[in-house]
Structures are given as C-alpha cells and as structure tokens.
Structure 1
Amino acid sequence: MTRRELDAAGIREPRLRAAYTRCREVNARHGRTYFLATRLLSPAQRPAVHALYGFARTLDDLVDVPEAADTPESTDGRLSEVHTRLLVDLRAGTSDDPLLAALVDTATRYALPAAYFTAFVTSMRMDLTVTDYPTRAELDRYVHGSAEVIGLQMLPVLGTVVPREEAEPRAAALGTAFQLTNFLRDVAEDLGRGRVYLPADELAVHGVDRARLAWCAGRGLADNAVRAAIREQLAITRRIYREAAPGIAMLHPVSRPCVATAAELYGRILDRIEDAGCEVFAGRATVSRGLRLAVAGRTLSRALWARWRHDTITAPTVEV
C-alpha cells in the first residue's frame, strides 16, 4: 500500500520515499482515528497527510514524552533548532534532514506558508512554560498554533470546490473542535503533566479550579462541580463542530468522506464522555475499534463512488 501511495503521488526519489514511509508509520502507530480516515482519501493525497501528521506528532512527543535527561530549556533549544532548520529548508524547497524531508516536500508541492509551521512550533514551545489558561481567548492563542493551522495545512491537500479562503474558517474550526475533544478526553493525563487546557474562568463558574481537579484526579472520580464544568465544555465543543460542519461540502468530493468520518469519530468521543456522566478521571474515553471500522466502512462506498465519479485529485509535482 505504501508503494502504491507514493507512486500515485509521483514521489520517486528513494530518500524521499523513505521519509514519507516513516511518516506513514508514525500515523499508523499513533493516529488511529486519523489514520483510518486518511485511508478514505485517494492514494495520491495520503503521503502529504502522513507527512503533516508525522512532523506534528514528532514535535508533540518531543515536548510531551521527553528523554530522561531533557529539561524544558534543552527541549526548547531542540525545538528552536528544528524550527530554524525548517525555515531554511522551506526556502530551499528541499531538505536532507530525515525528520523534515517529507514535510518540506509536501509544503513545497502545496505552497504551504511557513507561518503555519512557525505557529505550530510556537504552541509547542508554550507547553514548556504555560500550565494554565485563564480565559478562552488565551486558550485560543494556543489552539491556533496547535490545531487551527493543522486544518489550514490540510486544506490544499483536500482540495475545495469554493475559493480556498471561503473554506479556511471552517477548516480551522474543525481543527479546533478536534483539539478541544482531545483536551476533554485527556483531562487526567494532561493534569498529570502539570497542565490544564480548560479556561479557568469558565471552570470557576462551577466552583472548579486546579486544586479541585487535582483532588478529583487523586481519588479517580469527578465530583458534581467538575461534571457540570465538563458538561459545559462539551456543549461549547459541539457548537464548534456545528460551525465547522458546512466546510465538508466545500471540499473536493473525493475528500468529503474522509473528513466526515474523522468528524463523526471524534464527535463520538464527546458522546462517550457524556455517556459516562462527564466522568473524566475514571478512564479515558475511547471509540472502539469495531465502531471505528463500522463508521469507516459505511463511508467507504461513498469514497469509492466519489473517486469513480469525479476527477482524481493529483498531487502537485516539484520542479527539479
């Protein structure tokens, strides 16, 4: 399958093929829902998605899963090195760095602005020093780099049937909705890393603060105040999904089943949290493999029909 995707995307050079293959392996290993949805795209589109995911996941792990000898200062230094190298390689249109080669090739093919990647690195660096977000506006600044720009990066790969700038707010909103879903699913895990990705002022309305979250985490059970706060956050996140939903029809028909599947599966995580009584400390809300396959299987016929009915999206080539 990897060879078919690379051939379809016109990626011939052995070094680049190896870099894209590595990114695909990262996506398959870590992005279960994301990888499954990616399989609904045409083969020519998939390598670019793998490259974008592979880069983002690698930098996210650099911050969240540091080596034993790492310090915030050393990690910040490594992020700065990657960022500097990336900017140089983006200007050159090529990279011999194993981490960056596929990303730079994708960014060059799809004319992705360097500012998208700078915003992402900025948010990753925030994770080294910022542990709380007093207001929604401050959280939004983090989410812009960590999630909105991911949606914007994906848009040229997915293609649109409207002017791209018309679809961009919807793509950014869907990236935000995915990120907020992760925050709600991972409240306990993030708290264990010393971070709270829920606006403090919105929690305070329900009498919840970091100390109360820590107390609930310690006993493995949310209290009524925390449950009420989580219920409000679920409602906010669902509203953002609704804002993003019209964007699916703005995509190229071949890409719609993929994005619709990802949106449905991420939305099901919110359902799982709600079904558990907004309990976020007794266990991590997940969507079962069976349900993931059932949802993907339901949209597979639409994906195949779209590929047959419409012109296939061809990956841009890079002038050598």
Structure 2
Amino acid sequence: MTRRELDAAGITRPELRHAYRRCRELNARHGRTYFLATRMLTPAQRPAVHALYGFARRLDDLVDEPEPGATPASVAAALHDVEDGFLKELAAGYSEDPLRAAVIDTATRYAIPEPCFRAFFASMRMDLTVTGYPTRAALDEYVHGSAEVIGLQVLPVLGTVVPRAEAAPRAAALGKAFQLTNFLRDVAEDLGRGRVYLPADELAAAGVDRDRLGWCARTGRIDAPVRRALADQVARTRRVYAEARPGIAMLHPVSRPCVATAYVLYGGILDRIEAAGFNVFAGRARVPRHRRLVAAGDALVRARWARLRHPAVT
C-alpha cells in the first residue's frame, strides 16, 4: 500500500520515498485515529498528510516529552536549532533529515507558505515559558500557531472547489475548533504539566481560578462554578465549529468525507463532555467506539463513491 501511495503521489526519488515511508510509520505508530482518517483520502493525498503530521508530532514531542535530564533552556536551544535548520532547508528545498525532507517536499509541491511553519514554531516556544493565558486574545495567538496553521497547511492537499483564499478562514477555524476541544477534554492532563489553556478572565467571570481547577483535578469532582465555566467554554467552541462548517463544502469532493467525519467525531467529544455534566476530571471524554466505527464506515463508502465520480484533486 505504501508503494501505491507513493506512486500515486508521483514521488519517484528513492531518498524521498524512504523519507515519506518514515513519516507514514510515525503516523501509524503514534497517531492511530489520525492515521485511520487518512485512509478516507485518495492514495495520492496520503503521503503529504503523513509528512505534515510527522513534522508536527516531532516538534510537539520535543517540547512535551523532552529527553531525561533536559532543562527548559536546553529544550529551547534544541527547538531553536531545529527551527533555524528547517527554515534554511525549506528555502533550499532540500534536507538530509528524512522527516524534514518529506515535509519540505510537501511544502514545495503544494506551495505551503513559510509563515505557516514559522507560526507553528512560535507556538511551540510559547509552551516552554507560558503556563496560562489571561485573555481570549492571548490564547488565540497561541492557537493560531498550534492549530489554525495546521488547517492551512493541509488545505492545499485536500484541494478546494473555490479559490484557496476563500476556504482558508474556514480551514483555520476547523483547526482551531479541534484544538479548543482538546483543551476542554484535557484540562486535568494539562494541569499536570503546569498549563491551563482556558482564558483566565473568562474563568474568573464564573468564579474559577487555577487553584479551583487544581482541586477538581485532584479529587475528580466538579463544583458549580467550574461547571458554569466549562459550559461557557463548550458553547464558545461550538460557535467555532459553526464558523468552520461551511468550509467542508468548499473542499474537493474526494476530501469532504474525511473532514466531515472528523468534524462530527471531534464535535461529539463536546457532546460527551456535556453529557458528563462537564466533569472532565473524572475521566477522558471519548466518543463511543461503535459510533466511531459507524461514522468511519459511512465515510469510507462516501469517499470511494466520490473518488469514482471525481478521480483527481487539482
């Protein structure tokens, strides 16, 4: 199947085929749900998505899972070295590092703007020093680099039936919606890393601060102020999903089933949070397996039908 995907994508150079295989293996090993979602795309689209995922995953792990004995200063230095090297290689169009070689080839093939990568590095640097966000505007700055640009990177791979600039704000909004959903689901986990990805002023309006969230995380319980605060955050996130939704119809038909399924399943996490009384501290909110299987099965049927009617992404 790997050979079929590489052939379909027109990747012929042996060193690049090796690079893309490495990215695919990384995605299959660490991003199981994300990897399965790529099966709904055409074989020609998959290598690029694997490359973009692998690159983001490597940087995320560098920050969140540093080597034993690493210090914030050493991680910051390592991240700076990766960024400096990558941007130079991106300009040159070549890297000897397999993972970076694949993502540089993808960026070149699909004309992904360099600022998308710079913004991602900027947000990764923020994770080394920023532990909370006082306002929505401050959080939005982080989310732009950590999530919105991911939507913008993937958009040319998915293809559009409208000018890319018209679809771009919707793609960015979908990346943002997914990220905000992660923040709500992972409040307790993020607290364990010393971070809160919810605007402090909006929490304060409901009578909630970091200490109160910490009590909830320690006890697995939730009180009325935190419930109100999280209900408000869920409502705000649903509005971002609504902003993103029209973008699905702007995609090339072969890409719509994959993105529509992700939209439904990720949005379903908010439903699970709500059904649990917004207690994200008692356990991780998950969409039931049977619902995921039904959604994935339906999407695969629609994806195959779309490929028959629209065989190429242009």
Give the TM interval when normalised to the shorter protein: over 0.9
The residue matched to 2:11 in structure 1 has which SS? coil
Secondary structure of 1:11's counterpart equals coil
8 Å CA contact retained: 1:150, 1:172? yes
Which residue in 2 is equivalent to 1:216? 216
Amino acid of the structure 1 residue aligned with 2:299? T
Residues 244-283 of structure 1 aligned to structure 2 (within 5 Å): 244-283=244-283
Residue 18 of structure 1: CA displacement?
2.1
Count of equivalent residues:
314
**Percent identical across equivalent pairs?**
73
* Structure 1 stretches of at least 4 aligned residues deviating more than 3 Å after TM superposition: none
How far the C-alpha of 1:60 sits from its partner, in A, is: 0.6
Give, in whole Å, the separation in 1 of the partners of 2:202 and 2:288.
31
Q: Which residue of 2 aligns with 1:243?
A: 243
2:299 is aligned to 299
Residue 51 of structure 1 is matched in structure 2 by 51
Distance in 1 (CA, whole Å) between partners of 2:257 and 2:222 is 36
How has the CA–CA distance of structure 1 residues 39 and 261 changed in structure 2, closer, same or farther, with 3 Å as cutoff?
same
Corresponding residue number in structure 1 for 2:38: 38
Give the Cα separation in 1 of the matches to 2:46 and 2:117.
19
Measured after TM superposition, the shift of residue 27 of structure 1 is 1.9
Contact 1:33 1:262 (C-alpha < 8 Å) held by counterparts: no
Residue in structure 1 matched with residue 144 of structure 2 by the alignment: 144
Equivalent residue of 2:99, what SS? coil
CA distance in 2, matches of 1:271, 1:33: 19
Cα offsets for 1:257-292 (capped at 9, x unmatched): 110011111111111111111011111112244332
Shift of residue 205 of structure 1? 1.0
Letter in 2 for 1:117: F
CA contact (8 A) 1:33 1:292 kept: no
Question: Matches of residues 107-118 of structure 1 in structure 2 within 5 Å?
Answer: 107-118=107-118
Structure 1 residue 25, shift from structure 2 partner: 2.1
Structure 1 residue 102 corresponds to structure 2 residue 102? yes
Answer whether contact 1:23 1:51 (CA < 8 A) is retained: yes
CA RMSD of superposed structures (Å) = 1.2
C-alpha separation in 1, matches of 2:5 and 2:222:
45
Q: CA separation in 2, counterparts of 1:290 and 1:92?
A: 47
Taking structure 1 as the reference length, the TM-score comes to 0.95
**Counterpart secondary structure, 2:129:** coil
Q: Secondary structure at the match of 1:176?
A: helix
CA distance in 2, matches of 1:166, 1:53: 24
Q: Provide structure 1 residue ranges, at least 5 long, that are not aligned to the other structure.
A: 315-320
Matches within 5 A, 1:1-320: 1-313=1-313
AA paired with 1:10? Answer: G
Residue 105 of structure 1 and its aligned partner are, at CA, apart by 0.7
8 Å Cα contact 1:119/1:144 also seen in 2: yes
TM-score, with length taken from structure 2: 0.97
Amino acid at match of 1:291: R
